[in-house]
Structure 1
Amino acid sequence: MMKLKGKTAIITGASAGIGQAIAEQLAAEGSNVVLAARSTGKLKDLAEKINQKTGGKALDVPTDVTDKSAVDELYNRAIDSFGTVDIYVNNAGLVLSSAITDREVGEWDKMVDVNIKGVLYGIDSVLPHMLEKASGHIVNIDSVSGHEVNKSSAVYAATKYAVRAISESLEKELARTGVKVSNISPGRVNTERVLKKLGDDPERKPLQPEDVAGAVVYAVTQPDYVNVNEIIVRPV
């Protein structure tokens, strides 16, 4: 039984890794998926794959989440194509130089723009629609770095602490409106971007993108009266 038949989800950062896995698993549950990322070729390929193999329909919309007008257009394209948005997954994110002593100010700016502003722009685009219909689910992909900091993660962790704060506050703001908020915080995940930045850890097998996607599917398929606010997913 497909638990999300007839629903529509927007997923940012959907062209690879965690975002791709989330899109595929939501579509497998019957949801229509609107795929957003800057990588147009990969995005189109994923949409074609989903349309051929799953119960949901896919629409690819190249989007830079740091551009508010582009994020608003992403929402409008979803409404024009499917008539509603039931799930919005803020997955787009950057892991760049984060130690303050590295003084990589340009990379800090990029992380703030994508990891914080991109999340806020996504929420702002979809929230009026969800409040009007008194239903919907906003899922923010955070990180264990939003819960703990090491000596090389200061700026990245700061952006992820911000995502966690946004999620916690928004959940309280939206209490009893019918709109849910979930914050999903994965540890080290086996994606090209993460392993390139952090390297391998021979003592611990990393998570797979599908493990994080499973947490998202769990959160968004709960009964109407259940709101899963926080999930932390760590490798053993």
Structure 2
Amino acid sequence: MNRLVKGKKVMITGASSGIGQYLAIHVARQGGVPILIARSGERLHIISEKIEETFGVSCYWYKADLSNDAEWKDVIDRICYEHGSLDALINNAGMAVFDLVSEAKWQDIDRMLSVNVKSLFRATHQLLPHFLQQGNGHIVNIASQAGKMATPKSAVYAATKHAVIGFTNGLRMEVEKDGIFVTSVNLGPVRTNFFQQADPSGNYEKAVDRFMLDPNHVALKIVDSLFTKQREINLPVWMDSGSKVYSLAPVLMEKAMGRQFNKK
């Protein structure tokens, strides 16, 4: 139980399912106030009501399409106006479409860049002045092990997560003197509906099924680290070890793991 969460307002994007939904539950369970954002207002309404009924805390929700920058900016402005200062931002929203670059549709590439990168930059850029003014806050960016080790058919997705990791590392150094924590969460495959869009064939999901992370466990790990100085959360540990080896010997790893890399 993280006692630092109690009474804190925590904004969570991509909160209508998967890790985002569990993040909301664990924030509320530990006495925090979740502020939920996703495209599905109906789902958010149900989750918010259930959280308030179960944990006796306020839970707010806002419908927004994070791929629409103007809409997302307006929603963030509204949240800031209605809630004043926030205490934490968890940039959890993300999407993927796994394809060879030569076969990818531009609209899929553009949407991945908009949701995974631009919307994360937008939320951080708008909320950072509030954190700086109050002298505290925590920004958590959900990246991926793909941001450390790209594979075929995930070139664009991996590039977006490379961007998130780079942004997170630079930002951390900029604001650590101001009392603001910045954490990147680098995950392997998680058992969510993410792959329904990323790989509709289901082949990749079947190939990595035994390695998949539990979204409830991931969310608890993140919430337990809120308002503490945590540079990175890397799950699973063995995959993070592989990423480290890859950074030292990429040619060797690509030859040794080529068959596994091509399972998408």
TM-score, normalization by structure 1: 0.91
Aligned to 1:99: 100
Assess, with a 3 A threshold, how the Cα gap between structure 1 residues 44 and 150 changes in structure 2: closer, same or farther. Answer: same
Distance 1:40 1:94 in 2: 18
Distance 1:102 1:187 in 2: 24
Q: Post-superposition shift, 1:216?
A: 1.2
Given the alignment, which residue of 233, 241, 247 partners 1:231?
233
TM-score, normalization by structure 2: 0.82
Task: Please tell me the root mean square deviation across aligned C-alpha atoms, in Å.
Answer: 1.9
Aligned to 1:201: 207
Aligned to 1:133: 134
Q: Post-superposition shift, 1:55?
A: 4.5
1:46-57 correspondence runs (5 A): 46-57=47-58
Cα deviations across residues 15-70 of structure 1 (Å, max 9, x unaligned)?
Answer: 00111111111111111111000111101111111111125310110012233443
Instruction: Report the secondary structure of 1:84's partner residue.
Output: coil
Aligned to 2:9: 8
Assess, with a 3 A threshold, how the Cα gap between structure 1 residues 163 and 39 changes in structure 2: closer, same or farther. Answer: same
Q: Paired residues, what number?
A: 232
Aligned to 1:40: 41
Distance 1:77 1:54 in 2: 25
Q: Post-superposition shift, 1:215?
A: 2.3
Cα deviations across residues 132-189 of structure 1 (Å, max 9, x unaligned)?
Answer: 0010000000111111011121010000000000000100111211111000011110
Distance 1:152 1:103 in 2: 9
Distance 1:79 1:149 in 2: 36
Distance 1:67 1:208 in 2: 30
1:10-25 correspondence runs (5 A): 10-25=11-26
Counterpart of 2:11 in structure 1: which amino acid? I
5+ long unaligned stretches in structure 2: 239-264
Q: Post-superposition shift, 1:234?
A: 1.5
Bigger fraction of residues in helix:
2
Aligned to 2:144: 143
Distance 2:51 2:174 in 1: 35
Q: Percent identity?
A: 32
Assess, with a 3 A threshold, how the Cα gap between structure 1 residues 47 and 86 changes in structure 2: closer, same or farther. Answer: same
CA contact (8 A) 2:14 2:92 kept: yes
Counterpart of 2:230 in structure 1: which amino acid? V
Q: Which moved more, 1:31-40 or 1:100-109?
A: 100-109
Instruction: Report the secondary structure of 1:204's partner residue.
Output: helix
Distance 1:203 1:122 in 2: 33
Aligned to 1:64: 65
Aligned to 1:163: 164
CA contact (8 A) 2:4 2:226 kept: no
Assess, with a 3 A threshold, how the Cα gap between structure 1 residues 231 and 32 changes in structure 2: closer, same or farther. Answer: same
Q: Which runs of 4+ in 1 moved over 4 A?
A: none
Is 1:212 the counterpart of 2:213? The answer is: no
Instruction: Report the secondary structure of 1:199's partner residue.
Output: helix
Q: Which moved more, 1:64-73 or 1:33-42?
A: 64-73
Distance 2:196 2:76 in 1: 31
